[in-house]
Amino acid sequence: NNLKKHFPITKGIFSKEVGAVKAVDGLSFTINKGETLGIVGESGCGKSTAARMIIRLIESSEGSIRLEGQEISEINGKKLRAIRKDIQMVFQDPFASLNPRWTVRRTLLEPMKVYGIGKQRDREEKVYDLLNKVGLDESYAYRHPHEFSGGQRQRIGIARALVLNPKLIIADEPVSALDISVQSQVINLLQDLQEEYDLTYLFITHDLSVVEHIADRVAVMYLGKIVELADKEKLFNNPLHPYTEALISAAPEVETENKKERIILSGDVPSPANPPKGCPFHTRCPKAMDICKEETPKFKETFEGQYTACHLY
């Protein structure tokens, strides 16, 4: 709720604060158990920063994060350790996130050891079971990351995320480093696993066709804010926010009921160190009005289940 991350900009030898990069600027959303919430936006919109705050890799500047009702934005020590078990992350680059010197077996056993879960026998059983579930098998257990393809490494990354039975899995661009032909296999795997284990995903991507495939609801981010959030069908068939409209119109692979002609946005995304006054999108919005330069539109429920931040509504 109202999650923010402002990185201070400092100047001079006394590090005087002269401003802030508003990387994440007031996000509010809910993820329901068993669903996939997709967060989509261009690079630099703040989606990865948001993920890192939720998993407590970086501290939020403001706002609240609750997991099953428990406030987790300011916990530390033992409590934080427990939460780290409940929220697992699948990273974009599976190679960078796996220890190159560890066998797959060790990579998957270690988290259970650290958290003291089960006896060694149970743990090993779980490792072999998970390897099968992600489409690898026992024969892979004693190999190292460099012996695998990118897709296989991501399968290992997914198995590792599952080892501790997390309540939430945050996947940050989990397929964007993979070959196109492998992307859909990994996405299908994530969906199969979700069904089998009733998993809950926060799925972050810049790729609309990926969220169209995997998400139940979608949040669209622009310059550190959510500009629209809705069920996938509503968002794709009837986008309300001009930015969502432009994104969808520019993604030829996305199928919607009323496909519009391609909307070309002029200009670049402004710097989050110096976001425009009023609506952050007004410098590029084809529908901007006078009020848009002055007043920041509130993020509100525009139609049932469809939230937008735009003065048109």
Quote the CA–CA distance of 14 and 214 in Å, as a whole number: 48
Nearer to Mg ion, 205 or 249 (CB): 205
Decide: is 60 part of the binding site for Mg ion (CB under 5 A). no
Decide: is 49 part of the binding site for Mg ion (CB under 5 A). no
Q: How far is the CB of 291 from ligand SF4 (least distance, A)?
A: 7
Radius of gyration for the chain, computed over Cα atoms and rounded to the nearest angstrom: 21
Q: Which residues have a Cβ under 8 Å from the Cβ of 176 and sit 6 or more positions away?
A: 92, 205, 206, 207
Nearer to Mg ion, 92 or 200 (CB): 92
Nearer to ligand SF4, 104 or 309 (CB): 309
Q: Which of 236, 243, 230 is nearest to 310 (CA)?
A: 243
Q: Which stretch binds Mg ion (CB under 5 A): 18-26, 42-50, 115-123, 263-271?
A: 42-50
Q: Which stretch binds Mg ion (CB under 5 A): 45-53, 208-216, 275-283, 302-310?
A: 45-53
Nearer to ligand SF4, 67 or 250 (CB): 250
Nearer to ligand SF4, 94 or 297 (CB): 297
273 binds, among Mg ion, ligand SF4, none (CB under 5 to 8 A by kind): none
Per-residue x/- mask for Mg ion, residues 62 to 91, rule CB under 5 A? ------------------------------
Decide: is 97 part of the binding site for Mg ion (CB under 5 A). no
Q: How far is the CB of 294 from ligand SF4 (least distance, A)?
A: 10
48 binds, among ligand SF4, Mg ion, none (CB under 5 to 8 A by kind): Mg ion
Nearer to Mg ion, 106 or 206 (CB): 206
297 binds, among ligand SF4, Mg ion, none (CB under 5 to 8 A by kind): ligand SF4
What are the phi and psi torsion angles at 86 (to 5°)?
-80, -25
Decide: is 200 part of the binding site for Mg ion (CB under 5 A). no
Footprint of ligand SF4 on this chain (CB under 6 A)? 241-242, 279, 281-282, 285, 287-289, 292, 297, 310-312
Decide: is 48 part of the binding site for Mg ion (CB under 5 A). yes
Which residues bind to Mg ion, rule: CB under 5 A?
Answer: 48
